[in-house]
Amino acid sequence: MFLDKLLPKTVLQKLTYCVLSGLLLALAWPTYGFPLLLFLGFVPLLLVEYQLLLENKKSSVVLGYAFTTFLVWNSITTFWIYYSTAFGMVFALLVNSLLMSLVFFLFHKVHHWSHNNRIAYIFLVGCWIGFEYMHLHWEFSWPWLNLGNGFATYYQWIQWYEYTGTFGGTLWVWLVNLLIFFSLMATQPKRINILRAMAVSFVLLPIGVSYLIFPDYASAEAKEEYIETLILQPNINPYTEKYNTTDKRVGDLLLKLTEEKITSNTQLILAPETVFADGTNIDSWSFSVAKRQVEELKNKYPNTAFIGGISFYKLIKDEAKIEKQTNFARPGLWFNDYNSAIAVVPGREDDFYHKSKLVVGVENFPYQDWLKPILGNVMIDLGGTVAMKTTQPERSVFELTDQTKVAPIICYESVYGEYVGGYVNNQAQILAIITNDAWWEDTQGHQQHLSYARLRAIEHRRAVVRSANTGISAGILPNGEITQKLGYEKQGSLLVNLPLENKITFYARFGDYIARIGIFLAIFSFLLALSQKLRDKKIK
């Protein structure tokens, strides 16, 4: 009787449930939300799907209702893309909501085919995990709303991410949602109580374990090894100043900010993404204005290394050397465009790293072999430049004078856990994130981006030094705790002491293994349900 009253019967009731799911997911999200709501977020939508199953509705109907949920969630949490471009926001909201809805579309089909609810719900969890994994690897990559990211500001709860990565959080969310949903579906009091107790236990036990294993980094100086880093935040407006100033002026500003707080113990100066934005020919780096500016810093502070961002290009006149990511300039001339990090280290040759996880549209024309003949050179502008960036295959690290190894992570790359693990497995002892988060103005965009850096710290047990042009520059301990930060539209610097680590975590070693298991289970359960459908059809 209770279940009959609980299930939404009318179209209005179903839409209300879908909106409620979207609101719960949105209100759980960093950095303003309370993540306990994630454990309830899918329950109303699951009730809608079950009612539609009883009504024998087609999967296309489920697609529409699910789209309502995910459009609400996406709109509230990522509306800030609008400040970069209205079209980019609309595209991101609609496409990501549709992709999320397709998971429920497939789930409803499997639910129809299978006579075993367990198979259907195993498929749902595995398929959702597969969707998130796809979002980490395909060319339309947008993993911003992967469920495991939702606990980023409650870092005390998720210290076990060093074993599971964020997919452990995704699995956690789905298991609790399903236990609550099953408790609502149950009719026997004993079973209801067991399921409720299991749901509470599944929430509390991982949090309890997290507090038990919480590592103490209260004093970086207490560590045998630590690095003193000067983090610079020049606060150059990307719309009105960044591409209208010069590398000479930027270099003078960096020197001024450096002189404010640098000490004789400072081992690293960290400047933000594309801080030198004039566009420097990589083959002429040694003679460039940016090089001279960095050399001035190096000469004044000869024991301190410098890492910062730069816009590089490389001219190509030989058609045989054109790559997939090469841009056409004019007949007979092409160029590679790089969003790069430079390391100028005393006693060593200058080193470069080229950003390789690219922002869709702005830096990467996805599936251009298919789409370019249809769309021409149109690209989706999500803020910044619109040239195809050239990447590099390996996650190289910068080695400082004292043999300290630093991971140069550029902006969007910090959202990818297994990808950052590539630096750690190449012996990086600290994660240096350089970014420019001012495209989205003072919204949740730059705050969420900072919070995701805490996830990388926990997963790999590496301290993070983060330099934002504007946004939030910060020092983050390997347990996710922020030691110091400099807020949005603040010009200045931070002097931080952070520990160096050599431990390789379970997650860093094995990566997104939960996702690979989830994909296998999704395929297996799909085939089981399909075989049941074929048997039923044969019997008829």
pLDDT (average), residues 10-30? 98
Instruction: Please give the pLDDT value at position 363.
Output: 79
Instruction: Please give the pLDDT value at position 380.
Output: 40
pLDDT digits 0-9 by tens, 395-440? 999 999 778 999 999 999 999 999 999 999 999 999 999 999 888 8
Binned at pLDDT 50, 70 and 90, residue 29 comes out as: very high
- The domain covering 224-499 belongs, at the CATH homologous superfamily level, to Carbon-nitrogen hydrolase (3.60.110.10)
Instruction: Please give the pLDDT value at position 439.
Output: 80
Name beta bridge partners: 335.
Answer: 315, 327
Closest CA to 45 of 84, 101, 114: 101
Q: Is 70 exceeded by the pLDDT of residue 27? A: yes
Tell me 364's DSSP state. Answer: B
pLDDT digits 0-9 by tens, 315-370? 999 888 888 888 888 899 999 999 999 999 998 999 999 999 988 877 777 766 66
What does residue 53 show for φ and ψ, rounded to 5 degrees? -65, -45
Instruction: Tell whether omega for the bond before 31 is within 30 degrees of 0, i.e. cis.
Output: yes
List of residues 6+ apart from 227 with CB closer than 8 A: 267, 268, 404, 430, 497, 498, 500
What does residue 154 show for φ and ψ, rounded to 5 degrees? -100, 60
User: Could you identify the residue written with the tokens 């609309």?
Assistant: 90
Whole-angstrom distance, CA of residue 360 vs CA of residue 341? 20
Q: Is 80 exceeded by the pLDDT of residue 259? A: yes
Instruction: Please give the pLDDT value at position 379.
Output: 46
Among 146-150, 226-230, 239-243, 351-355, the range scoring the smallest mean pLDDT is: 239-243
Among 102-116, 186-200, 380-394, 431-445, the range scoring the smallest mean pLDDT is: 380-394
Residue count of the chain: 540
Instruction: Please give the pLDDT value at position 536.
Output: 79
- Specify the long-range contacts of residues 486-490, CB closer than 8 Å, at least 24 apart: 486/231, 486/233, 488/442, 488/446, 489/235, 489/442, 490/233, 490/235
Buried-exposed string 50-71: b where 16+ CB fall within 10 A, e elsewhere: bbbeeeeeebebbbebbbbbbb
* Domain boundary assignment for the chain: 2-215+512-539, 224-499
Instruction: Give how far the C-alpha of residue 174 lies from the chain's centroid of Cα atoms, to the nearest Å.
Output: 20
pTM assigned to the model: 0.94
| More confident site: 440 or 42 | 42
Q: Is 60 exceeded by the pLDDT of residue 384? A: no
Amino acid identity of residue 462, one-letter, is R
Q: Is 80 exceeded by the pLDDT of residue 20? A: yes
Helix or strand (DSSP H, E) at 19: helix 11-27
Q: Is 50 exceeded by the pLDDT of residue 220? A: no
Instruction: Please give the pLDDT value at position 382.
Output: 37
Q: What is the percent of the chain where pLDDT is above 90?
A: 77
pLDDT digits 0-9 by tens, 61-93? 999 999 999 999 999 999 998 887 787 788 889
pLDDT (average), residues 98-117? 93
Tell me 499's DSSP state. Answer: E
pLDDT (average), residues 292-316? 94
Q: Is 90 exceeded by the pLDDT of residue 51? A: yes
Instruction: Please give the pLDDT value at position 376.
Output: 56
Mean pLDDT in the chain? 91
Instruction: Please give the pLDDT value at position 442.
Output: 87
pLDDT digits 0-9 by tens, 127-153? 999 999 999 999 889 999 999 999 999
pLDDT digits 0-9 by tens, 459-495? 999 999 999 998 899 999 999 999 999 999 899 999 9
Please tell me which of 30-39, 212-221, 354-363 the model is most confident about, judged by mean pLDDT: 30-39
Instruction: Please give the pLDDT value at position 223.
Output: 55
